[in-house]
Amino acid sequence: MEEIDISDKASERKGKLTLVLALAVLISTFGSSFQYGYNVAVVNSPAPVMQEFYNQTYYERYGNPIEDSYLTLLWSLSVSMFPLGGFFGSLMVAPLVNKLGRKGTLLFNNIFSIVPAVLMGASEAAKSYEIIIVARFLVGICAGLSSNVVPMYLGEISPKNLRGAIGIVPQLFITIGILVAQIFGIRSMLGNTRGWTLMLALTGIPAVIELVFLPFFPESPRYMLIQKGDEEKARKALQRLRGWEDVDSEMEEMRLEEQSEKAEGCLSVLNLCSFPSLRWQLISITVMNMGQQLSGVNAIYYYADSIYGSAGVKESDVQYVTVGTGSVNVFMTIAAVFIVEASGRKLLLLIGFGICGAACVVLTIALTLQGDAEWMPYLSIACVIVYIIGHAIGPSPIPYVVTTEMFRQSSRPAAFMVAGSVHWLSNFTVGLVFPFMENGLGTFSFIIFGAICLATLGYIFIVVPETKNKTFLEVSQLLAKRNKTEIAVGSGSSTVNDLKPMNSKTDTKEGAVDMARRL
């Protein structure tokens, strides 16, 4: 069958950031992604106050002070329930987005924010630390869902020339959420005995705002057309988002994608893993999400306070230095929003992982020689800041963008479920293993993180294609050769011959796509 270039079907007319699109982006990211970042950092500053509440509550119940080992266990649960909830939230992504839609899932997800916000706000009055642990698990589910659904929703409503920049906005709001939590956590604000419950409960406010305003904005046109088969609603949604009536070229591109997937339906994770035409996409998102978390970003934040202390920063001033590093994170993520469409996704990933790997190596040297020179502690602080800059421009935001772009409509929910599960399990693993690494290897722990950064860099350089300014179908064509399959578009019938695993049950169905052909 004759092959044609998909780009010939698409109009060269560039999309613009319309008011509807901008507000949909801001409301969904503030209502969901902001909460993720806020809850990452919200328990850091008030940790001593919260642990004192645990101790006092235990004493009032049992008449004895709590044992240090049990207090450590309770606090570890309070912290680790968040990434564990994130993992379970990721497992819910595919069934919810296929059933409720992208926007519908975000609205439903607010349950997992408002309920725990009320619980955490009432925990001191109820004299129950168990409530906090349960609430942290629930708000983790919220973060697990939002960290996957928001990039999916924004990627599907954005024009291809703005998809990279808009795809970074969720990560920007995550960093803003972290920074706001760090500011609120200053002792003179809410990080004290009077304000910590209010600080925990504030996570419900963005959820309420999203619940009120997001229903006024369009559902993903791709979801409406490809999965619901409602062309009229898809067209109206697209017209509102683009700000013009003529959306025929983009509708045609979506129809081509729909034709390529008619025989697939909505893929499960098991089916996703069995498709030869998706093999390297699946490996790539796994490597990028593992690299993102196993690169040591959480360990850097964990170790930062001791690094600042060794450099002579007073304990009372560490909280302000922490806010400063959070500000650097936000600033560099904003920079990434503006340069991603010019530089491309792949270059930012390579630069980011390269900077992080080099920073880990130099940090190891600086920490090892900490007492040998007066300036070494300041080199350590510089390494922390440089690492944060590197992570903010590449490893933190770009994997979400690339995950959206590497998969088409039928496989995208399952792909995000895999990516999210890998992300949160890796996050949980670092939190669990790093204290033991620190005890066993000390400062040499960061050599391992540096090696992971460089290994991820090598994989991206060899395998991951540049996806800038390409349709989802064009990206699939880019990876077809590596998967040893091909995607052919019939010019006469506007159908797509998608490549399927041999002996697939769908091969015998009438109207099914052709069998995979080895190139």
Q: What is the DSSP string of 15-70?
A: P---HHHHHHHHHHIIIIIHHHHHHHHTTTTTHHHHHHHHHHHHHHHHSSPPPHHH
Phi first, then psi: give them for residue 510, nearest 5 degrees. -65, 130
Q: Is 313 left (phi over 0), alpha (psi -120 to 50) or beta?
A: beta
Residue with tokens 């929910």: 413
pLDDT-based confidence at 206, cuts 50/70/90?
A: very high
**Looking at residue 253, what is its pLDDT?**
82
Q: For the chain, how far is it from start to end, CA to CA, in angstroms?
A: 14
Q: How many CB atoms lie within 10 A of CB 290?
A: 20
Label residues 205-214 b or e (16+ Cβ within 10 Å = b): bbbeebbebb
pLDDT tens for each residue of 35-88: 999 998 888 888 889 999 999 999 999 888 888 888 888 888 888 889 889 999
For residues 149 and 229, the model is more confident at 149
Q: What percent of the chain has pLDDT over 70?
A: 87
At 489, is the secondary structure helix, strand, or coil?
strand
Cα–Cα dist 450/454, whole Å? 6
Residues, the chain: 519
Contact yes or no for 171/334 (Cβ under 8 A): no
pLDDT tens for each residue of 319-369: 888 888 889 989 998 988 888 878 888 999 999 999 999 999 998 888 888
For residue 111, pLDDT over 80 is answered with: yes
Cα–Cα dist 211/107, whole Å? 6
pLDDT-based confidence at 502, cuts 50/70/90?
A: very low
Residue 11 has which token pair?
A: 């109009």
Mean pLDDT of the chain: 82
**Looking at residue 514, what is its pLDDT?**
38
Q: What percent of the chain has pLDDT over 90?
A: 35
- CB contact set of 335 (below 8 Å; sequence gap of 6+): 392, 393
Cα–Cα dist 173/167, whole Å? 11
Task: Please give the average per-residue pLDDT across 137-157, as a whole number.
Answer: 92
For residue 486, pLDDT over 80 is answered with: no
For residue 284, pLDDT over 70 is answered with: yes
Residue with tokens 């400062």: 443
**Looking at residue 405, what is its pLDDT?**
83
Distance, CA of 309 to chain centre: 31
Whether the pTM exceeds 0.85: the reply is no
pLDDT tens for each residue of 398-447: 888 888 888 876 778 888 888 888 988 888 888 777 777 777 887 788 89
Please tell me which of 160-164, 261-265, 272-276, 305-309 the model is most confident about, judged by mean pLDDT: 160-164
Contact yes or no for 281/479 (Cβ under 8 A): yes
**Looking at residue 228, what is its pLDDT?**
82
Under DSSP, the state recorded for 229 is -
Q: Any bridge partners for residue 489, and if so which? A: 496
